[in-house]
Structure formats: structure tokens, C-alpha cells
Amino acid sequence: MKKIFFLSLVLFLSIASQAQKFAYIDTEYILSKVPEYQDAQKQLDALSEQWQKQVEKRYEAIEKMYKDLQAEEILLTESMKNKRQEEIIKKEQEARDFQKKKFGVDGELFKKRKELIKPIQEKIYKAVQETANVGKYSVIFDKASAATMVYSNPKYDKSDDVLKRMGIKPDSNSK
């Protein structure tokens, strides 16, 4: 009987010692408090707006070329009409290429975002890692990501700890 009790106690203690601790952070909240992120976002927004205006100008010019062709179509010879249509098609392709170069998957905006945001993400990751090590957390979830959290107890929210480790003072009443 004592052996069974002792064996049960050892089994219980080994399971209890392996209990995992969980916490979560809110990266949207953290990023809203990081001044470098706000500056980077403003730069990206300005670049995006500038390039979008350039794209729009190109398409406006194409639209004008098309309207001019329609207005003068009856006066043009077949070869002149074909030449103008080819010019319009060429301009449309150039506009699409420009748009892809600026906004595409590997476009300049994507590269600039990576350049500006990656150091901030690394800083956050390092602070999360330190928080996990100090608090002995097995897993830290991100409340802002696609993983669904139906309920989260605020006492396990470590977002402010991450901000402190990054050298940013969180607002006491911001959450």
C-alpha cells in the first residue's frame, strides 16, 4: 500500500512539475506604443501615396489617349489607328509594370516595409523571449494574430512587460 501511495505521489509530482505556463501579448497594442513603428508607418504611407498618385497619372494619360483615339478615329487611316492602339497598349503595360514594381509581392513598398519593420519585429521578439524566460512561460500567444482567443484573463497579458523590456513606458490606463 505504501508503495502504491509513494508511486502515485511521485507520478503526481512529476506531472505537476511539467505543468506548462501560458501567457499572451497583443502585438497591435505593443506596436501602437513603439515610436519607431509609428515613424516607419508614416514613411510607408507617404511612399505608398506618392507612388499611387504616379500610377493614377499614368492611367489618366492612357484614358486621355483612348478618348482622343475615339474622337479622331473616323479621320485616321487604318495604319494610324493601329499605331495609336499599339501606343495605348504599350502605355497600359508600362503602367501595370510600374504598379507591380512599386506595389507587387517583391515590389519596392514590400522591400521598404521589410527594411523598416524587421528591426522593430526583432526587438519585440527579443523582449518576448526575455519575458518568457523570466516568467518561465512555455508558450506566449499573440492576441492580435489569426489564432482565435475566445477568452483571455488580463493577468496573463504580458504586453506591458514586453514594452518595458524594449525601454518603452506603457500607459497605465491605455488598455
Residue 91's pLDDT is what? 97
Q: How far apart are CA 89 and CA 96, in angstroms?
A: 11
pLDDT at 158: 84
What's the confidence (pLDDT) of residue 97? 96
Count other Cβ atoms within 10 Å, centred on residue 162.
28
Per-residue pLDDT of the chain in tens (175 residues, 90 and over written 9): 544 544 444 444 444 445 678 888 888 999 999 999 999 999 999 999 999 999 999 999 999 999 999 999 899 899 999 999 999 999 999 999 999 999 999 999 999 999 999 999 999 888 988 888 888 888 888 888 766 554 556 777 888 888 888 888 887 655 5
By C-alpha distance, which of 95, 145, 120 is closest to 35?
120
Distance of CA 56 to the CA centre of its chain: 25
At residue 144, the pLDDT reads 80
pLDDT of residue 13: 44
C-alpha grid cell, residue 34: 513603439
Q: How far apart are CA 33 and CA 163, in angstroms?
A: 8
Q: What distances in angstroms separate CA 98 from CA 94, 103, 105, 127, one per listed residue?
A: 6, 8, 13, 39
pLDDT at 3: 47
- What integer pLDDT is reported at residue 57 of this predicted model? 97
What is the DSSP code (8-state) at residue 157?
Answer: B
Helices (H), the chain: 2-17, 27-33, 35-72, 78-103, 108-135, 159-165
